[in-house]
Chains A and B, each alone.
Chain A
Amino acid sequence: MGITERIRVFKPRIGRRELFTLFLLALEVVVFSLVADHFLSYRNVLNILRNSVDLAVVAIGMTIIMIICGIDLSVGSALGVVAILVGWMLNAGVNPFFIAGVAVAAGCAIGLVNGFLICFLRIPDIVATIGTQSILRAMVFFMLGGQWLTGLPPVYGFLTRGRVWGVPVSLLVIAVFYAAFWYFLTRRPAGRRIYAVGNGLETAKLVGISARRVRTLSYVLCGGLVGFAALLYVGRLGSVEITVGNDLALSAIAATVIGGTAVTGGRGSVVGTLAGVFFMSVMKNGIVLFGIPSLWERAAVGLMIVVSIKVDLMLEKRTLRRQQQQLSKQRESAWAARRGEGAAS
């Protein structure tokens, strides 16, 4: 069986780690619905869905980036720049489909710049994206010029508020994106290559994968998703504020990490990330419902990132130790058997 075939045959299932995140989410929902009666009301659930749709799309990109052992801090400012472009074009009355194309293309271009800096100029992911983040943030300030972009035509409102056959479009958007990327990451060779690079850069190179191309492509994908998320953002709020996307990177990284993507790369799935996204938006919603100052959310999210990475690393170490114990046991028994043979003859 050739290497590429084997990559294609390999089928990761929904692991225990994803189930754990789903369990956390369920626990959170149960606790919140016990404490606040109207938490599980249809309207509130719809509200949670609507508010999580752009984060959900960005989190897919962040998951891909973290599978290849990278990080992208520039997503928030990138979303801001694209959202402003979208707002300008909306005001100018450009065709909405054309705007959508431009938004995704602009996002991809930003991702390509990140990829170029990281893979070709060999700047570490974190440093490169801190750099682009500050450049993009300056562009946001400059493009807005101290004024908010408000009262935009509600062209994309449909994407977050609309309904098709009684199903909220926000749910459809999330379902389509997650299904598509689940298929891409688990069933397509290109997706499997992303995991291969994340699991071991050198090994991936040895089997003939161009790690550089895969990593650059991952950043481009992430950028494109951010570009699309900008449309959702504009559709959801109908305005672009100066603080646009300020804590988007934090939320996306938290959703990804809580969803079980390994910080050491190579492991993770969009299913877990989706659970992480809902965990985050349910928490945000709960914080508003309970009237807790929203700043606590950031502190809590920071703590949750730390706890969830710690738990993951501990589990990883335990499985590693078990594997080693098993291996040494096998080896011992093999030696014992051989010694027995020697004695017999």
Chain B
Amino acid sequence: MNLLRKLAGNRIVFLAILIATMTAVMSGLSPYFLTVDNLLGMTRFGATMALLAMGQALIVLAGGAGIDISMGSILSLSGVLFGLLVWKCGLDVWTASACGVVIGGLLGSVNGLTVAVWDFPPMIGTFATMWAYAALALIITGGVPVSGFPESFAFLGQRTVAGIPAQIALAVMPVYIILQFVMSKTAFGRSVYLIGINQEAARFAGLSVTRIRFFLYCLSGLLAGMGGVIMASWLMAARPDIGVGLEMQALTVTVLGGIDIFGGSGSLAGVMLAVLVVIMMQSGMQLANINTVWQLAVLGVILLGAVALNQALSRKTSN
């Protein structure tokens, strides 16, 4: 029991063991699981989730009941706007990609305005934008996917760089390395943790809690915008409903990765491992031919289980 608790307490070891077990079980069940095709497909699928989860993780870390449930809708809307920039305005696809990412940041800044500056409860502020953005994406496109990207654009979503899928090598890995560095080695990163632990103390220490939270919501929007562009490249079409349910996946991955839902503790490394766990699970369920509707339910169970586990552990360590 004690050993179990220690294992669960060290989230990274816990997740690594989970991944190893899952790999063993699934490659035993299906010879297809450990093939290059499947691994590549899985990581491509996980790229967007990883980007969103990093944004979500930082927002949750900064405390104040922080949560961003509008990320999926930001992803849809910025992807669609990016698509229209290419299709309707005839913008060069890479310039448009940069615009798409910036648009995501702008959409996120609306959350920053309501939640950080105006002091809305994050759950309601982002709930409102979630619906508004999703509706706007459908209105703008009339519900029809935007396509007509040049062939060269497929590079980002479908090719590899030195054997690694391009979206991992060019987006997820750089973002992760930068954020990991910022969170663990810079004053800004430490101040995010401090705000999450005690925002009053952070205020007295002279930190602008408002400004930092505002920035984090913008960052989360930027990452969602990046996800939107990558999704568009992967499918070679910008679907207005592509982001539905992604916020829930991002949240699940975040808490499974050991981020305390009340903020202040957890690491991005855990989140990345949790992304692996979730995509392996989804891929495994697909290989095992389990009805896709159950994936949603299983995610829900993992979400609830992970938070309950975190809470139980934190109670034990605090007492």
Chain A residues within CB distance 8 Å of chain B: 71, 73, 117, 121-128, 130-135, 137-139, 141-142, 247, 250, 253, 257, 263-264, 293, 295-299, 301-303, 305-306, 309-310, 313
Q: Mark B113-143, 1 if CB is under 8 A from A, else 0.
A: 0100011110111011111111110110000
User: A131-B300, A138-B297 in contact; A302/B129 too (CB < 8 A)?
Assistant: yes
Residues of chain A within 8 A of B299, CB atoms compared: 134
The chain B residue with its CB closest to the CB of A66 is B124
Please state if A121 and B124 are interface contacts (CB–CB under 8 Å): no
Query: Which chain A positions have C-beta within 8 A of B114?
Result: 306, 309-310
Nearest opposing residue in chain A for B314, CB measure: A122
Asked whether any CB of chain A lies closer than 8 Å to the CB of B94, the reply is no
A313 to B125, CA, bound (A): 13
Q: Tell which of B125, B127, B291, B303 touches A131, judged by Cβ atoms closer than 8 Å.
A: B303
Let me know if B125 and A124 touch, CB within 8 A. Answer: no
Most buried by B among A127, A132, A310: A127
- Contact with A71, one of B123, B261, B304 (Cβ below 8 angstroms): B123
Whether B294 is near chain A, meaning CB under 8 Å from some CB there, is yes
A301 with B293: CB separation less than 8 A: no
Indicate if the CB atoms of B118 and A310 lie closer than 8 Å. Answer: yes
Distance, CA A126 to CA B301, complexed state (A): 15
User: What would be 9 A-B contacts, judged by CB atoms less than 8 Å apart?
Assistant: A126-B69, A126-B123, A127-B303, A134-B300, A138-B295, A247-B131, A293-B139, A302-B133, A310-B114
* A303-B301 CB under 8 A given contacts A71-B123, A142-B293, A295-B139: no
A253 near B304 (CB under 8 angstroms)?
A: no
7 smallest beta-carbon distances between A and B, as pairs: A302-B132, A138-B297, A134-B300, A298-B135, A141-B293, A135-B300, A305-B128
Cβ of B136 to closest chain A Cβ, rounded Å: 6
Q: Are the CB atoms of B261 and A124 closer together than 8 Å?
A: yes
Assess whether A135 is in contact with B297, with CB atoms less than 8 Å apart: yes
CA–CA, A134 to B312, complex, Å? 23
Judge whether B67 is part of the interface by a CB distance below 8 angstroms. yes
Point out residues on B near A: beta carbons under 8 Å.
65, 67, 69, 114, 118-121, 123-125, 127-136, 138-139, 245, 248, 251, 255, 261-262, 291, 293-297, 299-301, 303-304, 307-308, 311-312, 315
Task: Return the contact of B132 from the options A131, A253, A303, A309 (Cβ within 8 A).
Answer: A303
Interface of A is mostly: helix
Say yes or no: A253-B135 contact (C-beta < 8 A), given A121-B311, A123-B307, A263-B121: no
Complex Cα gap A253–B67 (Å): 17
Q: Are B251 and A127 within 8 A (Cβ)?
A: yes
Looking at chain B's contact residues, is the secondary structure mostly helix, strand, loop, or mixed? helix
- Inter-chain CA distance A139–B297, complex, in Å, is 8
Q: Are B261 and A123 in contact (CB under 8 A)?
A: yes
By a CB distance below 8 angstroms, the chain A residues around B67 are: 126-127
Q: Which residue of B lies closest to A312 (CB)?
A: B120
Residues of A near B293 (CB, < 8 A) are 138, 141-142
Asked if A295 and B294 make an inter-chain contact with CB atoms under 8 angstroms apart, the answer reads no
Is the pair A301, B311 in contact by a Cβ cutoff of 8 Å?
no
Q: Which residue of B lies closest to A264 (CB)?
A: B121
Q: How far is the CB of A130 from chain B (nearest CB, A)?
A: 6
Contacts of A123 in B (CB 8 A): 261, 304, 307-308, 311
Task: With both chains docked as a complex, state the minimum distance between the C-beta of A303 and any C-beta of chain B, in angstroms.
Answer: 6
Q: A335 CB to closest chain B CB, in angstroms? A: 28
CA of A117 to CA of B307, assembled, Å: 10
Q: List chain B residues, Cβ under 8 A from A126.
A: 65, 67, 69, 123
Q: Closest CB-CB distance, A125 to chain B, in whole Å?
A: 7
Tell me if A127 and B135 are in contact (CB < 8 A): no
CA distance A153 to B157 in the complex (A): 51
- List, in ascending order, chain A residues with CB within 8 A of B296's CB: 134-135, 137-138, 141
Q: Is the CB of A299 within 8 A of B307?
A: no
Asked if residues B301 and A131 are in contact (CB atoms below 8 Å), the reply is yes
Q: Give A140's nearest chain B residue, CB to CB.
A: B293
Cα distance, A253 to B126, chains bound together (Å): 13
A250 and B124 form a contact (CB under 8 A): no
Could you tell me the distance in whole angstroms from the C-beta of B31 to the nearest C-beta in chain A?
29
B289 to A: closest C-beta gap in Å = 15
In the bound complex, CA of A302 to CA of B136 (Å): 11
A250 to B123, CA, bound (A): 12
Task: Give the residue name and chain of the B residue nearest to A257 (CB).
Answer: B124
Nearest chain-B residue to A125 (Cβ)? B123
Residues of A with C-beta under 8 A to B125: 306, 309
Assess the B304–A128 pair: CB atoms within 8 A: yes
Does B311 contact A309, Cβ atoms closer than 8 Å?
A: no
User: Residues of B contacting A122 with CB < 8 Å?
Assistant: 308, 311, 315
